Structure 1
């Protein structure tokens, strides 16, 4: 090699800059072809290809980190080890009861919706479940720790954030007590959430002899190419019979301050009945993917019967390894099924175009659509972005409410006092496309009324954003919000 570049076998000198440019050009072509092969959303495809060619080096790095989904292949191999078929092509009615079997008087719109949800998830509805809302970290954590202390055979816990703080130490102690009395314990923590705080919980639990796995660790290797694909699921299953699910992490932020005021508002749910088997099955899948261990079904997945008449419910596990966006499709279908009122609580609200259209259509049909988001978000600039996208919804007739502090981390959707959707998903692209999430849909008028009364208190305390409020927002806020809003297609 000379001072001006590289020489090939024919003696031709190629400047280093030209070689680099040629490599980048070929990489742009390859990445563009990959976008065209893998993207179903034309807006996202155009946005990615635009970034790749307008900012070549930055665009390639950004696409490698955020645009490539290799995790589907790993999930497919994990399912193959369990003797399960790949999820793609699984479009059929699942074995199990139908809505007509559960309730012959079910309106046709909910029969159709349930059929769609069954085909999208591949899971049947379950009958005779007991679901209890647990508001606030103190109440939820007490119930969860008590369940772990009463465990006789198995404890399965997965969460996004698990900190070794005032809240986390209670769980660590309970898990250790269960392990010491012979209970089989498995803990799965997201690799990023595991790093919240100074002491990774995984190390503390391993030293106590508890089997722990971290989900999708991002090492300095090719795995960096999908480090942004995180598990956001929050599940606890005890003895295969009692479960807890929702949007609550394990950290002291969910506990009250010394004066009794909450730092964060949130809701978790205690569940009993056959729905817990679907919860445990999701954990088993995640554990096989992360720990490469197949959990014995006789031990971890006992047969669970109905608790009584109870709630009709279905699990909705979702993630980038799925061929369809399960949660988003079910939410869109529920909006189409709405006839009277839709209530939504979410901490992060930047819905994609299909959900925006569904919300607009519901409002224009005369359905009252109430959307409650925090007035002050825990992420800088997030509300500026959210309000930029929400203006069109208010102009279409939706009602947007800003709830006062403390920050509300609840994720909940109620339609017509007939149907409830809760879990870990937010109304943004990260939750509905990139994260591994776990939600539940419930068909029960009594449970829906309970949650409706609970939401009403939130709505009464919130401040509604009117069209005039949007027009009088500071210009700088509007400008920054619109610029940030432009980044949403890249998610």
Structure 2
């Protein structure tokens, strides 16, 4: 009894400390979480599994990366991002297309306020068929670089595709071009030989985004850069969804392993691309990239607005979910047709509602996803969530192999959205992504023609098809669907 008497005060003290920490964590959750579902989940975890919940929230529930990004911007002499709604200085859709429907002017105003970026005019944007054609164009641009090369990607493997880029970057570095390469920490794990080591041996400045270390960085290791950007001399850029790996090249029989679409960009939009890279580089290496060398003044050539476009960089360091808001606004602006192509389709409730509303208004909503996904069990989950969309009037198409990694959205042959974001919670909440929105009927028509054949060869999933699915698949899909916010 004497032993228990000695333990009792200590146990009471520990319980009191844990209770205090639970109260502090709960107050922090209520103050900082805007999503009621996330707040309820975190509070439940903190109170039902106190020790585990507190540690887990400390590591993964607090957005420290926002503070680090803010400090990086302040070091560069830039204003810290604030949760203020202001119109950016620069062109608007009225300057480019004054006769555009009012709904697009309203959408453009929202996009400018959400991103903080003005619309850029005089751009040239061309789609590149994923694989060898896109890689050849990118390597040719690196070989013709005169001043700077900035490359960031999620996956960069040292295989037959990656070695060509390593060689091109080394050639540029040897002739005096300033080269910077940023690769995601998780993306480097896809290859047996980390490409970062091979680049360092050639003297190329390279950084790993959010490396896993036993430090403060471990607290947001789950936050990844999923951006795929190449900027050459600050005037030519490439963006889209393509990683650098052999999967985008032909197989031994000359067939496609993966289908994808990347984009070549010229014009003022490239400056917005470079600004996004400079932010990430300053965060990772604390080196500032600025001045005419990295951000040259871009003069618009030719007449007319070119393709009016705006960069949409997004990430957990931003005060609001930019990409999701712009997608929802575009769906609300749709009047005739919406085409969505994505490899990973697990939209959050707000996007599901927006898709349903568009379909119920009479808009043709066509969603194209791969029939066979590269992630195990993903399609079981996706189909489980997509059934309600088909019942509301959306059309779901399953594209046959090869696996289609394209990320594209086209609305009314007026508006095109492309980049690195998937339609899932990871892309829209946790990843650092980069997308581009374009307002141009000619370009939209070109992209509609570009994807027409994919819809022609795809299989539409009807209501009867959903009902005919095996019960085991439906049951597994619903169980996995519960974890969809974390997939």
Q: Would you say same fold, with TM above 0.5?
A: yes
CA contact 1:65–1:227 (8 Å) conserved in 2: no
Residues 1:433 and 2:432 are matched in the alignment: no
Cα separation, 1, equivalents of 2:210 and 2:3: 44
Give 1:126 deviation, angstroms. 0.7
3-state SS, counterpart of residue 140 of structure 1: helix
Whole-Å Cα distance in 1 between the matches of residues 84 and 455 of structure 2?
40
Shift of 1:65: 4.1
Equivalenced residue count is: 485
Contact 1:47 1:489 in 2 (8 A): no
Indicate how the Cα distance of structure 1 residues 396 and 179 shifts in structure 2: closer, same or farther if over 3 A, else same.
same
- Closer, same or farther in 2 for the Cα pair 1:49/1:477, shift >3 Å? farther
- Out of 266, 277, 283, the position equivalent to 2:277 is 283
Q: Compared with structure 1, are the counterparts of its residues 182 and 53 closer, same or farther at alpha carbon in structure 2 (3 Å cutoff)?
A: same
**Structure 1 pair 59/375, CA: closer, same or farther in 2 (3 Å)?**
farther
* Uncovered stretches (5+) of structure 1, i.e. residues with no partner: 6-10
Q: Deviations over 1:260-306 (max 9, x none)?
A: 11111111100011111110111111111111001132210001122
For residues 22-65 of structure 1, the C-alpha deviation after alignment (integer angstroms, 9 at most, x for no partner) is: 55444433332222111111122222223333344444444344
Secondary structure at the counterpart of residue 208 of structure 2? strand
Question: 1:186 maps to what in 2?
Answer: 180
Residue 16 to residue 221, structure 1, CA distance change in 2 (3 Å): farther
Match of 2:249 among 234, 241, 255: 255
Deviation string 1:86-123 (CA, Å, 9 cap, x unpaired) is 11134211111121111221110100000000000110
The correspondence for 2:128, drawn from 130, 134, 138, is 134
Aligned partners of 1:4 and 1:15 also within 8 Å = no
The SS at the match of 1:83 is coil
Q: 1:216-236, CA deviations, whole angstroms, 9 ceiling, x for partnerless residues?
A: 112123322111000000000
The correspondence of residues 400-411 of structure 1 with structure 2, limited to 5 A, is 400-411=396-407
C-alpha separation in 1, matches of 2:68 and 2:196:
22
Distance 1:3 1:314 in 2: 73
Partner of 2:336: 340
CA distance in 2: counterparts of 1:107 and 1:127, whole angstroms: 18
2:381–2:484 CA contact under 8 A, matched in 1:
no
Instruction: Name the structure 2 match of 1:460.
Output: 456
- Aligned-pair CA distance for 1:160: 0.6
CA contact (8 A) 1:43 1:489 kept: no
Instruction: Judge conservation of contact 2:426–2:486 (CA < 8 Å) in 1.
Output: no
- Paired residue secondary structure (2:448): helix
- Cα distance between partner residues in 2 of 1:488 and 1:276: 34
Most deviating of 436-445 and 18-27: 18-27
The question of whether the paired residues in 2 share the 8 Å contact of 1:351 and 1:429 is answered with yes
Residues 184 and 4 of structure 1: CA distance in aligned 2, closer, same or farther (over 3 Å) = farther
Instruction: Tell whether the 8 Å contact from 1:47 to 1:490 is kept in structure 2 after alignment.
Output: no
1:369 maps onto 2:337 in alignment: no
Distance change (3 Å), C-alpha of 1:50 and 1:205 = same
Number of the residue aligned with 1:296: 290
Helix, strand or coil at the partner of 2:343: coil
**In the alignment, is residue 37 of structure 1 matched against residue 31 of structure 2?**
yes
Change (3 A) 1:88 1:15: same
- 1:114 counterpart = 2:108: yes
- Preserved CA contact (<8 Å) 1:356 1:393: yes
| Contact in 1 for aligned 2:426/2:485 (Cα 8 Å) | no
Q: 1:478 to 1:209 in 2, by over 3 A?
A: same
TM-score by length of 1: 0.95
Q: Quote the Cα distance in structure 2 between the aligned partners of 1:305 and 1:464.
A: 46
| Secondary structure of the structure 1 residue equivalent to 2:146 | coil
Structure 2 counterpart SS, 1:106: coil
Helix, strand or coil: the match of 2:71?
Answer: helix
Contact 1:272/1:307 (8 A) holds in 2: no
The DSSP-based 3-state class of the residue aligned with 2:23 is helix
Mapped contact 2:390–2:462 kept (Cα < 8 A)? yes
5+ long unaligned stretches in structure 2: none
- Residue 423 (str. 1) matches residue 432 (str. 2): no
Q: Deviations over 1:128-152 (max 9, x none)?
A: 1111101121111000000000000
**1:325 paired residue among 317, 321, 329:** 321
After TM superposition, the structure 1 = structure 2 runs for residues 156-305 of structure 1, keeping only pairs within 5 Å, are 156-305=150-299
Give the secondary structure class of the aligned counterpart of 1:13: helix
Contact 1:318 1:326 in 2 (8 A): yes
CA RMSD of aligned residues (A): 1.8
Distance in 1 (alpha carbons) for counterparts of 2:207 and 2:2: 51
Alignment partners' CA distance in 2, 1:190 and 1:349: 22
Q: Corresponding residue for 1:442? A: 438
